[in-house]
Structure 1
Amino acid sequence: MKITIGSDHGAVELKEEIKTVLADFPDIEVKDLGTFGDTAVDYPDIAEKVCQTVVTGEADRGILLCGTGIGISIAANKIKGIRAALCTDVYSAKMSREHNNANVLAMGGRVTGFGPAGEIVKVWVTTEFAGGRHARRVDKISALEKE
């Protein structure tokens, strides 16, 4: 699986921790699109870069991080084909994949600790979409983009 990750300046430390967690999965290849320091950047720009890799198929999934995860998830969900889920707990991460087929995970570097974030990421990357009745609902979400 290919995962593209990106953060604004408010979540660089969390991004580095998540990359360490993902390194434990030999079948996951991670590409980091920045930012790499504490100089302020605009989270919509990071969201666009990461989400474009998912939409084009360069990456299977994306992970986005900002201070709270809110702004970057809102920006990501403006991009056609993206289903970004802001997850603050393991259950939400599992359901975002199993029921919603979320292709982008969003979290907040200033509100989610390293330990919980690691557990969220582990569940999110290992949970598959359940399909079935959930596929019909995801199709309806995709149809909203056409209106």
Structure 2
Amino acid sequence: MKAAALLLLCLLSTAVLALEPGERLAPWTLLDQHDVPYTLNDETRILLVARDMDGAKLVNAALEGKPKGYLDERQAVFLADISRMPSVIATLFALPKMRDYNYRILLDRDARIAPRYQASEGEVLWLQLEDGKLEEQRAFKEAGALTNALEAVGK
């Protein structure tokens, strides 16, 4: 009985967290890979969310070869949940590599922000925003599809 109640509570809390079109995203501030703060604001049009390493690799593949400022031109930001990464690995290996990327990666080190968004394992969640409100959301599992969607925004 306790297990069933716990399962029901988990399902209800997940439903409460799901974003609906027209809903305003709560503002937050995170540091990027260069320790520069970024605050989600009404100017952001696209929020890309990766909850795991496979999702982050998908974004990296989609942005490979793109010029510096590519995401900025599209008013897009990339949020990576790195909370499951051991801090030693993050400090010694992952962050130095991320600093070489020519795009900003907002780092959720403590899983404070990324769990608000329902990105599944191995995918990138695309949240299309207008004045801070959710217009639509899509999920990408292939770098080519994500690249095409980002290119379409630039036109």
TM-score by length of 1: 0.29
Structure 1 or 2: more strand by fraction: 2
Structure 1 or 2: more helix by fraction: 1
TM-score by length of 2: 0.28
Compare CA radii of gyration and give the structure with the larger one.
2
